[in-house]
Amino acid sequence: MNNYFITTPRLGFGLWQPGDIEAAQTLWGDPQVSRYICAAGVFTEEEIAARLALECTNHERFGVQYWPIFNRENDMLVGCCGLRPVSGEADVYELGFHLRPQYWGRGLAAEGAKAVIVYAKDTLHARQLRAGHNPKNENSRHALVDKLGFVFTGEEYYPPTGLMHPSYTMEL
């Protein structure tokens, strides 16, 4: 059983630790997950290890990360959902989520993101959240805009994919 610091009816939020490479590979090593978040469409083992290290560093330095999320019924890894700081902007965070394919279409991204929004507002006293998605990922747009209430603000170049990504904000 995991020690969850945020829970929803179906999800529990944990913390990435440096030794969680197997779970990180299960998530970011899946080409169906990575196809929208990196230009190559798949991460190398080194890139997955670097991503895990970044999440651990973000927790140490800023108290946030794209936290691993688990199915509360069986403690299986669902994906990640969380925050990262926006450089040079006090009290502003980027919200994001990556789910394993077997959990798509169940409303879990929105369920997890709603809990993260409450955490950002009540615990971090954030004033704004930002989000974006690959322009080919209509499901992420649907979650951000239709289910969560983010407002479209334009497009921004996203270096990991080499594409212009739709961008959104939410005032808290």
pLDDT reported for residue 171: 97
| Residue where the block lists tokens 């279409």 | 105
* Phi, psi values for residue 52, rounded to 5°: -60, -45
Residue type, 137: N
- Nearest alpha-carbon partner for 67 in 160, 144, 4: 4
What pTM value is reported for the model?
0.95
The number of C-alpha atoms within 13 Å of 45 and in the hemisphere containing its C-beta is 2
Q: Strand 77-85 to strand 66-71: parallel, antiparallel, or no bridges (unpaired)?
A: antiparallel
pLDDT reported for residue 6: 97
pLDDT values of the chain reduced to their tens digit, one per residue, 172 residues: 578 999 999 999 999 999 999 999 999 999 999 999 999 999 999 999 999 999 999 999 999 999 999 999 999 999 999 999 998 888 999 999 999 999 999 999 999 999 999 999 999 999 999 999 999 999 999 999 999 999 999 999 999 999 999 999 999 9
Q: Which residues contact 68 (CB under 8 A, 6 or more apart)?
A: 13, 14, 15, 16, 20, 23, 27, 77, 79, 80
Q: What is d(CA 7, CA 149) in angstroms, rounded to the nearest whole number?
A: 21
Task: Please provide the DSSP assignment of 47-86 as one string.
Answer: HHHHHHHHHHHHHHHHS--EEEEEETTT--EEEEEEEEEP
pLDDT reported for residue 69: 98
Sign (positive or negative) of CA dihedral 83, 86, 92, 96: negative
Query: What ranges do the domains of the chain cover?
Result: 6-171
Q: What is d(CA 48, CA 73) in angstroms, rounded to the nearest whole number?
A: 27
Name the class of domain 6-171: alpha beta
pLDDT reported for residue 128: 97
